[in-house]
Amino acid sequence: MDRSIVLFFSVLDPRRRSRLLPSGRVVCVCWVWTCHRLALFFGSKSRFLSAFISVSFMNNQKQQKPTLTGQRFKTRKRDEKERFDPSQFQESIVQGLNQTGTDLEAVAKFLDASGAKLDYRRYAETLFDILVAGGMLAPGGTLSDDLTRTEYCLFTASEDLETMQAYAQVFNKLIRRYKYLEKGFEEEIKKLLLFLKGFTESERNKLAMLTGILLANGNISASILSSLFNENLVKEGVSAAFAVKLFKSWINEKDINSVAASLRKVGMDNRLMELFPANKRSCEHFSKYFTDAGLKELSDFARNQQSIGARKELQKELQEQMSRGETLKDIIAYVREEMKKTSISEQTMIGIVWTSVMSSVEWNKKEELVTEQAIKLLKQYSPLLKAFTSQGLSELTLLLKIQEYCYDNIHFMKAFQKIVVLLYKADVLSEEVILKWYTEGHVAKGKSVFLEQMKKFVEWLKNAEEESESEEEEAD
């Protein structure tokens, strides 16, 4: 074949074109020359065009990729889902517990070693069901009849605090060894509390003591108590009876301050009344029930919490009355009525009134202007403050509140002396109380700054007192 034909087919092939042909105008010249020689070879233009089109079509046609048919793809081992089968897991745990028996040290060692062989993460609920009830629990708290069970569990143990403490150590060691069980254990306790009606009284008592110890040790959060607010448990008195045993064991391990801190942390401190039905949900009933059960400290805590709640509501109402512009006469009458109703002392009330007054406005952010704003406001409400400082102790309480407020709000640091002088002139604070505060009654907050501010005024008070005494002696 003529060399022109070879060159022609090479040009049509894109894989060889770049190696055979230069770029630019040289390509065009070569292409025209090649076409001319090919036309001479075929003898006519029509035969040349026919050959050109057929070769172009063959080169441009896409090559089909080979396809796999009849192939079976094997699932990766990591993607294979293991069938959920707790029965085999249960048999392994039950067999081990039957071998260890009542020796809780041996139980703890067995559970520690079994974690390397058994899937605790997958079967956590089954594991805790067995340790507590001896087998898997069906909905409602009954044991499943079709599965094996063990007689060595929490519910079959002795009903005493020492045994429950030993069981708490078993759970503590297990969770510390396998940290991922912590959340599952907390969910298990919540579930068990919802199943209380399905347990015997003895089983409930054991679970209550164990839960109290676990709460004291920090193994579980006090948020689990929310399960006790279940309507059916509350209605039948199960929740309140369970709470008595629980709090007794909790307070036995820790004091009431630790219990209160744990309850506040999860917002349970104001929900204890919900252990009783709505028609018995009062501070008096709560106090009597738990005091009679030997938990007076819990009764006092609940009463104090209710008092704090009442004070917050009172402060909120006072601020709203001030913002509405109600007369001081009406505000004073309302506060006195609330004092009788809630048995709040004057010393406590003056603190609430002071906070309400200082929270009733939005303060200027400039220090030089905030003092003027405070003086103007306190002039307006000085009759309200005077109405609840009829005792020396109430006056001192107010003065300490002023000191703390000025220290906590840095823009008021320089305003302290002017506020005290204003309230002295308005007969809210007496000179005896101011002198007592200056010598011994003050608190540590901003002590040096405020004592320095008050130095000249205190000297003036002392001189005025000496002059009045000398005048009285001359008169005698």
Region 86-297: CATH code: 1.25.40
**Whether the model pTM is above 0.75:** no
Q: What's the pLDDT at 247?
A: 96
DSSP-derived letter for residue 332 is H
Residue with token string 């006092």: 300
CB 302 within 8 A of CB 287: yes
All structural domains of the chain with their residue ranges = 3-55, 86-297, 326-475
| Residue 282, CA distances (Å) to 63, 139, 286, 306 in order | 86, 33, 6, 10
**Which segments in the chain show pLDDT lower than 50?**
1-2, 4-5, 7-9, 11-12, 14, 17-29, 32, 53, 55, 57, 62, 77-80
Beta bridge partners of 137: 143
Report the distance separating Cα 150 and Cα 94, nearest Å: 6
Q: Does domain 326-475 have CATH number 1.25.40.180?
A: yes
Task: Give the model's pLDDT for residue 421.
Answer: 95
* Phi and psi angles of residue 137, each rounded to the nearest 5 degrees, phi first: -95, 135
Interacting residues of 185 by C-beta distance below 8 A, sequence separation 6+: 124, 128, 171, 175, 219, 220
Q: pLDDT value at position 329?
A: 94
Predicted confidence at residue 29, as pLDDT, reads: 46
Asked if 164 and 209 touch (Cβ cutoff 8 Å), the reply is yes
Q: State the pLDDT at residue 468.
A: 60
pLDDT computed for residue 471 by the predictor: 56
